[in-house]
Homo-oligomer: A and B are copies of this chain.
Amino acid sequence: MLIRGNLVHCPELGQLDILRDFVLAVDESGRVSYVAPANRPESQQMLADAAEPPLVIEQGSFLIPTFCDLHLHAPQFLYQGTGLHLPLMEWLDEYAFKAEEGLDNDPVLADKVYKRLATRLIENGTGAVLLFGTIKTETNLILARVMQEAGIRGFVGKLSMDISSRPSYMEESAEASLSEARSFSERCCDLVAHLPDHERLVHPVLTPRFVPTCSDELLEGLGQLSAQADLRIQSHMSEAHDELEWVQRERGSHDIDIFAKHGLLTPRTVQAHCTFLDPPLLTQVAEYETAIAHCPLSNAYFSAKPFRLREALQLGVKVGLGTDIAGGYDVDVLSCMRHAVAISRMREGERIVATAGTSAEQETNLSIDWKEALYLATRGGAIALGLPSGTGSFSVGSPFDAQCIRLFDARTGEGVGALDFFDDLSERQVLSVDSIEKWWCLGDTRNRQQVWVQGKMIKFGC
């Protein structure tokens, strides 16, 4: 496949590259094999030699990498956008556990909910997603199959939990839980074993729900299993005030120490939230090369503290964004980016007010801007997930995971969706940072024209 048009990506934090009128080639295995300005002789030659006409991204549109969602509870999509009035631990009892148990008892419903979720993810430009599932292996295999069939990179976590406030919703012992985790991991890999490597989109992830639901024995076993089988790990860490209190009371420790002790902080780990980690603890996370899924909306609702995003980035922690459905109510990573920026600006505001007139006034700015948020949603997320080299940017060798964003109709000049432009169409034909920022602020599913994962188109809209 040969594509010609504008490309936009953030290869590094804070860097937004607008690659105007580029040629990009995708090979048989869905990887980028060439990317360079169209006016280069080599590009011209490729265009001239192409067996099929290239896909031309029209003026008014551009390609950017798909989004990575680093934290999403698939079964909670069932009740997305409801019941957000309770503190975390009560909310889990009242809503989350009940919904998850419901899907584990009803595979038809699970299939329906997961298919709808997949549709919504594609609509919203999410190409890779790290999923929390349910306890039951079969239900997680449904989830894996649905994601594979939808063409989304699905990292599927069968929940491991041998302790629960809801006695009907837990595994019967650490041993039984470990055995199921092992079994799910094997069966999830089996699902795609017949496919060539590059078409294997789903992968199992070891998923101790969080410390309050896992015995030390279970955590220890999962740590060993991850090391033996080279499996990814995800969990929640230091999320909420009531959760931290619980862990301190019941286990006499901080959950970062518990995870560390059991070998669960690894370069293959993504921990959601981490809102209560101070810089020394974030330094530990960086040293373990563990990634953090920053979930700004659900943090605002459930965490009592905003995540120290700027500090984490400065300390070298791998960070990406998570929607945290249904603790966050919106599956849209674009919305997640907006929350991340707004909350970071509030943190910076607080810092400014607190340090006004002191020598610290001009120190580190704690806010991030929209370009940095876009990095986190694309390249940052891909790094956190350990996706193949270059994923989340347009570079030779990286998988072609991309979305086509339509800003305006190149013929009429009319903005698409919620976007309005009042300048002359002729001025707008050269894609500007301002236009991209406008999309970042105001865009929605209506601006998303196509989505590709590993070179394969998984959505074609209007």
Contact surface of A with B, Cβ cutoff 8 Å:
77-85, 109, 112-113, 116, 120, 241, 297, 300-301, 303-306, 329-330, 339, 342-343, 345-346, 348-350, 352-353, 356, 369-370, 418-420, 422, 434, 437-442, 444-445
Contacts and interface: CB of A to CB of B under 8 A. Distances in A.
A305 B350 contact: yes
Contacts of A343: 300, 346
A254 to B, nearest CB: 16
A338 to B, nearest CB: 9
B350 A438 contact: no
A441 B349 contact: no
B434 A353 contact: no
Contacts of A440: 81
A215 B138 CA distance: 72
B109 A330 contact: no
Contacts of A345: 300-301
Contact of A441 (B81, B356, B419, B439): B81
A372 B361 CA distance: 36
B369 A85 contact: yes
Contacts of A339: 342
Contact of A330 (B85, B369, B370, B442): B442
Given A80-B420, A120-B420, A330-B442, A349 B305 contact: yes
B84 A437 contact: yes
Given A301-B345, A330-B442, 5 more contacts: A81-B440, A81-B442, A82-B441, A241-B356, A304-B350
A303 to B, nearest CB: 6
Given A113-B422, A305-B350, A352-B241, A80 B342 contact: no
A294 to B, nearest CB: 15
A440 B303 CA distance: 21
B342 A442 contact: no
Contacts of A241: 349, 352-353, 356
B437 A352 contact: no
A300 B346 contact: yes
A308 to B, nearest CB: 13
Contacts of A113: 422
Question: Which 5 A/B pairs are nearest by Cβ-Cβ distance?
Answer: A304-B349, A81-B441, A81-B438, A329-B441, A300-B342
B78 A422 contact: yes
A330 B84 contact: no
A300 B437 CA distance: 17
Nearest to A439: B81
A434 B112 contact: no
A346 B350 CA distance: 12
Q: Which of A301, A305, A369, A420 has the most CB of B within 10 A?
A: A420
A85 B80 CA distance: 32
A442 B339 CA distance: 15
A346 B304 CA distance: 6
A83 B369 CA distance: 11
Nearest to A117: B420
Contact of A370 (B84, B116, B444): B84
A243 to B, nearest CB: 13
B82 A437 contact: yes
A342 B81 contact: no
A256 to B, nearest CB: 18
Given A241-B349, A300-B345, A356-B241, A434 B109 contact: no
The interface centre, meaning the residue of A82, A241, A329 with most chain B CB atoms within 10 A of its CB, is A82
B420 A304 contact: no
Given A297-B342, A420-B116, A441 B305 contact: no
Given A297-B342, A300-B345, A349-B305, A329 B82 contact: no
Residue of A329, A345, A346, A348 contacting most chain B CB atoms (<10 Å): A346
A123 to B, nearest CB: 9
